[in-house]
Structure 1
């Protein structure tokens, strides 16, 4: 979701949150959380925490997670995390609330961060602190951009409505499987024909407020948990049974989504294309000037004339040269770049797995693409156990099956066949592994 002035409301927030949690745990290894609860002034503890957190964020700045896109404005995950850390330094009340939460857990279980599961609880407290802080920061920036009052709770409500729209769109996309629930959302029983509303819902701007209300009302029936507008929580009191206000907020999200739809990508793409064209032009010109006496290479203005004079049959008989071969790039680098992966992805990712692990030994004879396809099938694209070197910087998850097939220069069906064969070997060997280890 994009709103004027906001930077933390898009899917990249999940990686910002994880990076802040990861680096905070590093800080607490260098500075025991007990020191944060000492009677010393809270300002000194906050300054120490922010300084150490900034050091850890800078140290992690070259990781795949840190360099991933944090939002569609061009901010990286590392940049957003660092900015939020400095925002914390300017908002001591959020730090005080964090210390109070730590003190409460410490009073219940002294030194809980040293107990089994304590590290996860400590990380959750950090995540809660930064989640509240990001909505405060975005609310302030929204007010500055629009000149309208906005509270952190309103930002939360915007995000809830955007999430609700996404869930409604998913149900509409699979309306046959969710016929009863979609009918309840639309307010009428569905026939066998495609509902016109399903075909017309192209963006959040086309989502009707009554659908949001009915969707929330259906959740307890279909999922067992009440919807956000049908709980006893007062967080969304202003939206409960208020279709007019919901409609205004949906329209605002949709309007800004339309205004910022290009997200500067068209202009940036043209800029990249122009830069690449100029680089090629000057390279050809330099090669022409350097080699014209020795090999008669035509100048750039004569290249087309030379091609026109060359017989079609002769040109067709020449083998096609792969892209990048003239520059001496390895084949694996060419394939990686062709699917928007780093040039050295195959080498770095291949060395990232622990060679002594059972799965690495079992899959040692398979290519990197097949191994990653196995993990993609068994664990999904974004398991926390994956090394950063395996991740696509654009998504921070494993490459897709299409990308992996291109790395191996095979078709998707072939890659699937090899993946399934590898999974079958793992399944067959699993019982003997359990007996031997």
Structure 2
């Protein structure tokens, strides 16, 4: 969801939340948490916590998950996490409320923060602190951007309506399965739904009555009451106020349309990048030619393709060798798995492909660095590309096995990329991906049978 001035209400929040929770636990292990029991030390502890948290975040800022887009304005997940952490200094009430929950928990069970089994509960308290701070910061920035009053609760209401629209859009997309419910929501006969559904292309086209009826039917079809029909009074005033719902839906839709150019890279931008690379090569060739002529020799470079210049990003055997070069077929003495060297142009092409598939730009680079370095499976699949290997794991272990490194996962889903994305990463079609995946699995089974015999 986009609103003027807001930065934390979009798709990247889940990753920001997870990064803050993970790094906060790491920061707490470096601090004297018993200071939370001394009210005179809480301000000093806040300063120490923010500094330690910032250091932990910066240490992870080059990881794929931290580099991923956190919103449509160009802020990365790590940048958003850092800025929100520093907001604690401006809004210390959220820190004091968090400390109060720690003190209360300590009174019941002692220093629970030292118990590894309590990490989930501690992370939940951190998440609650930052969720409240997020809405406060975005509400303040919304008021600055628009000049209209706004509260954290109103931001929460905007987000609820946006979530409701997306769930309603899912029902529209699967209309054949949900035709009976959609007939109630749209207040139409089941056979006359298509015109309304076709016109609902964005949240700006959504009608307030649809949201109300969607919430009303939630308990019947999902078992849980909708947000407008719970016992909570948070949204009770909206239930009988379709005009207010319509105004909020329109505002979200209008601003999303106004800022939608943030979501796409126009073709001319790709052309500009290619033109810049071409000019660099052109001037490099000209410079080499002039140097050759100045030395008194013939223009020997006229019919040559010159090697690309060395850059800090290029892989070299002596510096930052990719994991596929370092991967060993077994203990010491075996040959490397691959002799492929990834230069700057190849890495740039990979990043462009990953971005087009809605994956972090450096996904393949980081996934290679995170892959296993030895073992019989690595020996058997030594000639198999990384996307095919991930497709093998996708089929054998499922897309979300606990053994997968974080850098193998799509930050948007927390699981391996889909088979369609893996096919795109490998530059092949889906049928070809399935064929090569099944061949690799057959090779694994054959090797396993041979080893057993």
TM-score bucket of the superposed structures, by smaller chain: 0.7 to 0.9
Cα distance in structure 2, aligned partners of 1:378 and 1:246: 47
Q: Could you say which residue in structure 2 is the equivalent of 1:415?
A: 433
Cα distance in structure 2, aligned partners of 1:378 and 1:41: 52
Q: Could you say which residue in structure 1 is the equivalent of 2:82?
A: 82
Cα distance in structure 1, aligned partners of 2:166 and 2:229: 18
Deviation per CA, 1:115-140: give whole Å up to 9, x if none.
46300110000001000100000000
Q: Could you say which residue in structure 2 is the equivalent of 1:373?
A: 391
Cα distance in structure 2, aligned partners of 1:407 and 1:279: 22
Deviation per CA, 1:220-257: give whole Å up to 9, x if none.
00011100000111111331221110000001101111
Does the Cα contact within 8 Å between 1:332 and 1:343 map onto a contact in 2? Answer: no
1:151-162 correspondence to structure 2 within 5 Å? 151-162=151-162
Matched, 1:280 2:278: yes
Pick closer, same or farther for the CA change 1:108–1:395 going to 2, 3 Å. closer
Matched, 1:27 2:45: no
Matched, 1:252 2:251: yes
Aligned positions, number? 402
1:103-182 correspondence to structure 2 within 5 Å? 103-115=103-115, 117-182=117-182
Q: Could you say which residue in structure 2 is the equivalent of 1:197?
A: 196
Does the Cα contact within 8 Å between 2:72 and 2:263 map onto a contact in 1? Answer: no
Pick closer, same or farther for the CA change 1:243–1:6 going to 2, 3 Å. same
Q: 1:289 offset after TM fit, Å?
A: 5.5
Q: Could you say which residue in structure 2 is the equivalent of 1:238?
A: 237
Cα distance in structure 1, aligned partners of 2:203 and 2:113: 43
Q: Could you say which residue in structure 1 is the equivalent of 2:7?
A: 7
1:283-362 correspondence to structure 2 within 5 Å? 283-288=281-286, 290-291=288-289, 293-294=299-300, 296=302, 338-340=353-355, 348-355=366-373
Does the Cα contact within 8 Å between 2:216 and 2:225 map onto a contact in 1? Answer: yes
Q: Could you say which residue in structure 1 is the equivalent of 2:223?
A: 224
Pick closer, same or farther for the CA change 1:74–1:234 going to 2, 3 Å. same
Q: Could you say which residue in structure 2 is the equivalent of 1:322?
A: none
- Secondary structure of the residue that 1:256 maps to in structure 2? helix
Query: What is the CA RMSD across the aligned residues, in angstroms?
Result: 3.6
Cα distance in structure 1, aligned partners of 2:149 and 2:7: 18
Q: 1:45 offset after TM fit, Å?
A: 1.6
Cα distance in structure 1, aligned partners of 2:373 and 2:95: 43
Does the Cα contact within 8 Å between 1:162 and 1:204 map onto a contact in 2? Answer: yes
Q: Which runs of 5+ in 2 are unaligned?
A: 290-297, 305-339
Deviation per CA, 1:169-226: give whole Å up to 9, x if none.
10011111011111111123302x6521111110000000000000000010001110
Cα distance in structure 1, aligned partners of 2:19 and 2:34: 22
Does the Cα contact within 8 Å between 1:64 and 1:391 map onto a contact in 2? Answer: no
Pick closer, same or farther for the CA change 1:105–1:379 going to 2, 3 Å. farther
Cα distance in structure 1, aligned partners of 2:218 and 2:413: 30
Cα distance in structure 2, aligned partners of 1:264 and 1:365: 37
Cα distance in structure 2, aligned partners of 1:380 and 1:137: 39
Q: Could you say which residue in structure 1 is the equivalent of 2:408?
A: 390
Q: 1:258 offset after TM fit, Å?
A: 1.2
Cα distance in structure 2, aligned partners of 1:208 and 1:176: 21
TM-score by length of 1: 0.80
Pick closer, same or farther for the CA change 1:190–1:343 going to 2, 3 Å. closer
Does the Cα contact within 8 Å between 2:12 and 2:412 map onto a contact in 1? Answer: no
Pick closer, same or farther for the CA change 1:85–1:197 going to 2, 3 Å. same
Cα distance in structure 2, aligned partners of 1:381 and 1:42: 43
Deviation per CA, 1:53-94: give whole Å up to 9, x if none.
111111111111111111100111111111111111111111
Pick closer, same or farther for the CA change 1:175–1:55 going to 2, 3 Å. same
